[in-house]
Chain A
Amino acid sequence: MTQLLIEAGRTEHQYWRDLWRYRELFYFLSWRDLLVRYKQTVVGVGWSVIRPLLTMLVLTVVFGKLGRMPSGGHPYALMVFCGMLPWQFFSTAISESGNSLVSNSNLISKVYFPRIVITASSVITSFVDFLISAVFLVALMFWYRYVPPLNVSLLPFFVLLVFGASLGVGLWISALMVEYRDFRFIVPFIVQFGLYISPVGFQSGVVPARYRLLFSLNPMVGIIDGFRWCILGGPSNIYWPAFALAVIDVFVLVASGIWYFRKTEQTFADVI
């Protein structure tokens, strides 16, 4: 028989056991979001290819053709797409998961389950889009008749990193959004601003050396560089301090995100 003790001023001991018990809910909520997302659309899932495709074209034209930025000897479009893949994931994940608690407020005020499931599954939903875009990247490589180097076997590690970064930031924003709806306006700003301070449309190499470390404080720098290093290869693409900083950043984001989320979670139903 399961026993449960609820006591004022004490966090639950069973949190992680509960999370395990509700593990199927991760799947069901992501599945719901995916099902709903493209209902009553004509193009449907096509949108998760069209969006990155158009952004890639714009960035290639602006940075590659007009700005004549270096591409390290690879087709500019391919170089851009390697950066866009993690960036697009990160940006949709934080926008979607940021809103996730507020848009599921009816659930939060009526049913109990670990709330982290909501935020995490919206990150998972964005991850599915990421996988679809990744298929497109493979198609792009065929188009350019490009064979990736062996480094590509390390790609899962960077995927894990970008997932962690998205989850960490998502947890922070979603929990903050419950009380401060201001974040509804802040998130689009972060996303827009982030595109310029992350090496999406260009390579990190173009950043002057003395600003490089400052630039690398952004975890997405290390992650995007990592993606390029795995897919395009070459020593020029990896900058170790950026990589180390990214790992530290992600670790701090996830740990602090979980901490803050857990701290505020109990009052979600009262505040939302």
Chain B
Amino acid sequence: MFDAPVAITIENLGKQYTLGHQRDRSDGMRHAIEGAIRAPIAWLRSRRQQKLQRADFWALKDVSLEIKRGEVVGIIGRNGAGKSTLLKLLSRITVPTQGRIRIDGRVGCLLEVGTGFHMELTGRENIFLNGAILGMSHSEIVRKFDEIVAFSEIEEFLDTPVKRYSTGMFVRLAFAVAAHLDPEILIVDEVLAVGDAAFQKKCLGKMGSFAQTGRTVLFVSHNLDAVRNLCRRAVWLKRGRLHQDGEVAEIVEAYVENISSERAFSYTNADYGLVIQSVVLKNGRGEQTSQFFPGDNLVVEISYHAEKRIEKPILALGVLGVNGPCFTSNMLLDGHRPNRLEGSGQITCTFKSIPLLPQNYTLKLIVRTANVKDLIIPYQDVAYFSVVGDLAEYGYKGDFVTYAQHSTPVVVPYEWRLPDGCTVAVALTRPEAAGVGSRRVRDHL
């Protein structure tokens, strides 16, 4: 086997943050001055008190990794698992508390699209400014200028201040500049969370081609599909430690399994006295699961405890795919709200025979008060699930069935009527429930 040289070596890396109280922060200066003026004993005492008040926590601990040149590695994990901290250390924004990192090659970092853009400056001016901040030289920017403009599709607005841009234009320009940074090691954080689906695809494509030219890419994302498509290896961080490291499909699968099986979601809104104790997904047979077949029923069970009475709350659930929303159940629209929530109880919503292609999905929940404006629970992820299954069983055929993982995920039952007089019906209904999903029937006219 060909052993590529090592691009990044991480040994025992750790980063500790001190969570000071907000109050400490604001009069830190006074403390410092007081400390210096007071008698030494009092000073020591105040220092000790300060130490007690503070909580240390390790955002990252004992992480060791070796990444070879040309590898494309996805870093996954929940919020707060240490992904961003790791990237910040690698990109030298902050320094480690312990351990060391060795990097061979020029590093380019994309931690946030649009960093260093100035709203008052024009698109053209911002290209130069942002390029320089990201570490490009003037001549490099001049050379790539046309390419950047073409990629961002903002030619006409090049001399308009960026503050007049739409969000989409802004993001396109920002990504275009960053994408033309030409490092040997590219570190990318969740930059694709913005922009429309078409542009996200373009960005992924750019990163893919980058990886194909034998350069090293580290990619942090919650978009597991993107990780799966782009990377060959995945690293799973959990509470600041390296949990698993290995082949991407394996790790992502284990991760999806884990996040959906843990009864992770719970939410408390003290102001309204509402606790969402759990959100559980079940299939049509009443089994708790995170994997569904196309055409399964998706049952969402929300268990709550309302300490105070909540009158006529408005719940809404949304199912989102990799590229955005698929469908929703929304009391705001259908008007069928509970009269009140009081004490413990359950609200269940069953999505019947979900017409979804095998991909990964997110379930989101929002709870509003009767007046619509106030949020009891802000719109957020409450569960993750994946749809799996062999599309051949649903009557899908041909060499390009694998494209289904990038397709628009919702399939409403449809029928082709072909020139030879054939009618073909396609539907994502469970094979055992409705025979064969797609039937070819000779139409006798």
Contact = CB atoms under 8 A, between A and B. Distances in A.
A3 B104 contact: yes
B154 interface: no
B157 interface: no
Given A269-B94, A270-B17, A111 B111 contact: yes
B133 A25 contact: yes
B92 A3 contact: no
B138 interface: yes
B42 to A, nearest CB: 21
Given A24-B138, A269-B88, A5 B120 contact: no
Interface stretch (A28-36, A71-79, A149-157, A193-201): A28-36
Q: Is the interface of A mostly helix, strand, loop or mixed?
A: mixed
Nearest to A6: B101
A39 B132 contact: no
Contacts of A24: 132, 137-138
Interface string B103-115: 1111101011001
A267 B16 CA distance: 12
A32 to B, nearest CB: 5
Interface in A1-18: 1-8
Interface in B54-95: 88-89, 91-95
B96 A8 contact: yes
Interface of B: 14, 17, 26, 28-29, 32, 88-89, 91-107, 109, 111-112, 115-116, 118, 120-121, 125, 128-129, 132-135, 137-138, 161, 184
Contact of B95 (A22, A106, A267): A267
Given A35-B121, A39-B120, A270-B17, A8 B97 contact: yes
Contacts, number: 106
23 contacts: A3-B103, A4-B101, A4-B102, A5-B102, A6-B102, A7-B96, A7-B101, A8-B14, A8-B95, A28-B132, A32-B129, A35-B120, A35-B125, A36-B118, A40-B120, A107-B116, A107-B133, A111-B115, A111-B134, A113-B135, A180-B29, A267-B94, A270-B94
Contacts of B128: 28
A106 B96 CA distance: 20
A227 B132 CA distance: 36
Given A8-B99, A21-B135, A180-B32, 17 more contacts: A1-B184, A2-B106, A5-B100, A7-B99, A7-B100, A25-B133, A28-B128, A29-B132, A32-B129, A35-B120, A109-B93, A111-B116, A111-B134, A112-B93, A179-B28, A266-B95, A269-B88
Contacts of A109: 93
Contacts of B92: 4, 6, 112
A2 B115 CA distance: 25
B95 A6 contact: yes
A110 B95 contact: no
A22 B135 contact: yes
A110 B101 contact: no
A8 B32 CA distance: 26
Q: Is the interface of B mostly helix, strand, loop or mixed?
A: mixed
> Of residues B98, B103, B116, which shows the largest number of chain A Cβ atoms within 10 Å of its Cβ?
B116
A111 B125 contact: no
A29 B133 CA distance: 9
> Of residues B107, B128, B133, which shows the largest number of chain A Cβ atoms within 10 Å of its Cβ?
B133
Contact of A5 (B88, B89, B98, B101): B101
B93 A6 contact: no
Contacts of A108: 93
Contact of B133 (A1, A36, A111, A182): A111
Interface in A34-69: 35-36, 39-40
Contacts of A36: 118, 120-121
Contacts of A110: 93, 111-112, 115-116
A29 B128 CA distance: 10
A103 B107 CA distance: 26
Nearest to A112: B92
B96 A6 contact: yes
B94 A107 contact: no
A107 B115 contact: yes
Contact of A4 (B88, B99, B103, B133): B103
> Of residues A24, A109, A111, which shows the largest number of chain B Cβ atoms within 10 Å of its Cβ?
A111
B372 to A, nearest CB: 34
A134 B115 CA distance: 35
A39 to B, nearest CB: 5
Given A32-B129, A113-B135, A270-B94, A180 B28 contact: yes
A78 to B, nearest CB: 37
Nearest to B132: A28
A8 B17 contact: no
Interface in A108-160: 108-113
Contacts of B95: 6, 8, 266-267
10 closest pairs, A vs B, by CB?
A: A28-B132, A7-B100, A180-B29, A112-B92, A110-B115, A6-B101, A4-B103, A182-B29, A269-B94, A266-B95
B115 to A, nearest CB: 4
B138 A32 contact: no
Contacts of A182: 29
> Of residues B29, B88, B95, B116, which shows the largest number of chain A Cβ atoms within 10 Å of its Cβ?
B95
A172 to B, nearest CB: 14
A68 to B, nearest CB: 42
B66 to A, nearest CB: 15
Contacts of B88: 269
A108 B88 CA distance: 11
A72 B60 CA distance: 67
B99 to A, nearest CB: 6
A67 B91 CA distance: 59
A266 B102 contact: no
B133 A28 contact: yes
Contacts of A6: 89, 92, 95-96, 100-103
